[in-house]
Structure 1
Amino acid sequence: MTMPGGPAGSTRPSDRAGSGVIVIAALGGLLFGYDTGVISGALLFIEQDFELSPLTSGMVVSSILIGAMAGALGSGTLADRWGRRPLLIAAAVIFAAGAIAAGAAPSAGALIAARVVLGLAVGMASTLVPTFISEMAAPRSRGRMVAVNQLMITIGIVLAYAANYAFADFGGWRAMFLAALLPSAALGIGMLFVSETPRFLVRSGRITEARAVLARLRRDEDVEAEIAQIAEVRPEEQGGRLRELVRPWVRPALVAGIGLQILGQASGVNTVIYYAPTIFQETGLAASGAILATVGIGTVNVLMTLVGMAVVDRIGRKRLLLAGATVMAVSLALLATALSLTGSGASVLAFAAVVLYIVAVATSLNVVVFIIPSELYPLRVRGTAMSATLFANWGMNFVVSLTFLSLLEALGGTATFWMYALLCVVLALFTARFIPETKGRTLEEIEADLRGSRS
Structure 2
Amino acid sequence: MPMNASTQASRAIPIAGAGIVLGSYDLAAISAAFAPIRDQWHLSAGVVTSLGTATLVGMLVGSLAAGFLADRIGRRAVIVGDLLLFAFSALLAAFAPDFAVLTVARLATGVAVGVDFAVVFPFVADVVTSHKKGRSMAWILFGANFGTLAAYGLGGLILAHVGPLGWRVLLGSAALLALPLLVFRRRLIEAPSWSLLTPLTFGQLRRRAALAIRHEHLGAQALATLLYQVTDQGIGLVLPLLLVTMLQTSASSGAFDAALVKAITIPASLVAVVLIDRMSRRSLQITGFVGRAVPLCLLGLALVYDLHLSPLAIGLLLACSYFFGAAGPDKTTVISPSEYAAPEIRASSQGLSQASGRLGGIIGVTGYAILVTVAGPGAGLLFFGIACLLGAGVSLAALPRSNSNIARNGDDPL
The worse-fitting range, judged by mean Cα deviation, of 386-395 and 238-247 is: 238-247
Q: Is the contact between residue 67 and residue 123 of structure 1 (CA under 8 Å) also seen in structure 2?
A: yes
Coordinate RMSD, CA, aligned? 2.5
**Pair 1:309–1:438, CA change in 2 (3 A):** same
- How far apart are 1:438 and its partner, in Å? 6.0
* Between 43-52 and 82-91, the greater mean CA deviation after superposition: 43-52
Distance in 1 between residues matched to 2:144 and 2:351, nearest whole Å: 19
Structure 2 gap segments, 5+ residues each = none
TM-score by length of 2: 0.91
| 1:55–1:282 Cα change, 3 Å | closer
CA apart distance, 1:446? 5.0
CA contact (8 A) 2:72 2:201 kept: no
Give the distance between the partners of 2:75 and 2:145, measured in 1 at CA.
23
Q: Can you list the C-alpha shifts for 1:193-212, whole angstroms capped at 9, x where unaligned?
A: 2221232111049xxxxxxx
1:279 aligns with 2:242: yes
Question: 1:240/1:300 Cα in 2 relative to 1: closer, same or farther (>3 Å)?
Answer: farther
Identity %: 22
- Aligned-residue offset at 1:278: 2.3
| Cα distance change of structure 1 residues 253 and 343 upon mapping to structure 2, 3 Å threshold | closer
In the alignment, does 2:368 pair up with 1:368? no
Alignment partners' CA distance in 1, 2:232 and 2:213: 31
Name the SS of the counterpart of 2:278 in structure 1: helix
- How many residue pairs get matched? 406
How far the C-alpha of 1:142 sits from its partner, in A, is: 1.2
Distance in structure 1 (CA, Å) of the matches to 2:22 and 2:285: 25
Give the distance between the partners of 2:198 and 2:176, measured in 1 at CA: 33
Judging changes above 3 Å, is the alpha-carbon distance between structure 1 residues 331 and 380 closer, same or farther for their aligned structure 2 residues?
Answer: same
Q: Deviations over 1:151-183 (max 9, x none)?
A: 232221111111211111213001101111233
- The residue aligned with 1:155 is 146
- Cα deviation code 1:193-244 (max 9, x no counterpart): 2221232111049xxxxxxxxxxxxxxxxxxxxxxxxxxxxxx899842133
1:329-408 superposed matches below 5 A: 329-340=293-304, 345-408=309-372
Deviation, 1:440, is 6.1
Match of 2:116 in 1: 125
Question: Who is 1:251 aligned against?
Answer: 215
Match of 2:197 in 1: 203
Whether the 8 Å contact between 2:32 and 2:241 is mirrored in structure 1 is: no
**What is the distance in 2 between the residues matched to 1:117 and 1:66?**
9
Structure 1 alignment gaps of length 5 or more: 1-12, 206-235
Summarize the Cα distance change of 1:441–1:426 in structure 2 as closer, same or farther, 3 Å threshold: closer
- For residue 181 of structure 2, what is the amino acid of its counterpart? L
Counterpart contact for 2:221–2:395, Cα < 8 Å:
no
Distance 2:258 2:22 in 1: 19
- Evaluate the alpha carbon distance shift between residue 239 and residue 439 of structure 1 in structure 2; reply closer, same or farther with a 3 A threshold: farther
- Superposed CA deviations along residues 298-356 of structure 1, whole A, max 9, x for unmatched, are 22223321221122111231111111111112111221134246687342221111000
SS state at 2:190 partner = coil
**Residue 76 (structure 2) aligns with:** 85
Q: Highest CA radius of gyration, 1 or 2?
A: 1
1:63 is aligned to 54
**Pairwise CA distance, 1:378:** 1.7
* Matched-pair contact (CA < 8 Å) for 1:254–1:385: yes
* Partner residue in 1 for 2:205: 241
- Compared CA separation, residues 291 and 342, structure 1 to 2 (3 A): farther
